[in-house]
Amino acid sequence: MNYVIIIAGGVGSRLGAKVPKQFVEVLGKPIIAYTMEHFQNHPEIDAIELVCVDGYQEHLKSITEKYGITKLLKIVKGGSEYERSIMNGVAGLADIAKPDDVVMIHWSASPFLSEEMITDNLRVCKEKGNAITASYSYLLYGSNDGDCAKRAINRDSFMTLSAPQSFLYKNVIDLYRQVEENHLFETIEEHHTTVFMSALGIPLYFSKGSHTNIKITTKEDLDLFLGYQLVQKYKRVPVGKTKSQ
């Protein structure tokens, strides 16, 4: 079985919206609905678990009903921070997922992903035990030394990491067991799955990514997604016709 855990536990304070960013509407549809549809429509995804910010569970359930998310397995409560929300989601599959089942983790406010990314993420995870969506950097990098860069950094030595991120269930259970046993929440400043994996010496295996696969964080990101959706709608209009014809 292939499960996906969609993390909708954030409040999106940097976006400045009246509701958590995953519930902000673009062209009349919540961002999280766009995200869920990618997994609903993917033939290899068997079930969807949602991790929701407290107080929005019923609202989220109504969104799944409105947009036909029939693969919904359950909605669980989000944690005090991002990683704790993931842990809640993983724990929510304890009596459901088998050790070698794939558990994919994705951000609710990352609706730019594609079927190809999901497929390749599953493939790599089944081969290697984990899969992190990644892409090469096209930008230049410099060290952060106050108001200047004292050295340039070779961009070929970097990969941009994103989501989805997949794990065999037995591996993600073991990962968070080690995180707790090694008190990484107390000793590491940045609490993120990939940072914890690095600290524990666990290789991060790359799967196909894209520079368009961003997480909506700012108002500018929201504008980018609006533009992306308008382009997609335009592409679906037959040549020689307008939407009114």
Q: How many helices (H) and strands (E) does the chain have?
A: 8, 11
- 2-133+160-236 fold: Spore Coat Polysaccharide Biosynthesis Protein SpsA; Chain A (3.90.550)
CA-nearest of 14, 106, 8, 6 to 53 is 8
Helix axes 57-66, 31-40, angle to 10 degrees: 60
Q: In order along the chain (245 residues), what is the average pLDDT of each group of 10 residues?
A: 92 66 92 97 98 93 97 95 94 96 97 96 98 91 93 89 97 97 94 95 96 89 90 68 43
Where are the domains positioned within the chain? 2-133+160-236
Tokens of 76: 């669980």
Angle (CA) 35 38 165, round 5°: 75
What's this model's pTM, rounded to 2 decimal places? 0.90
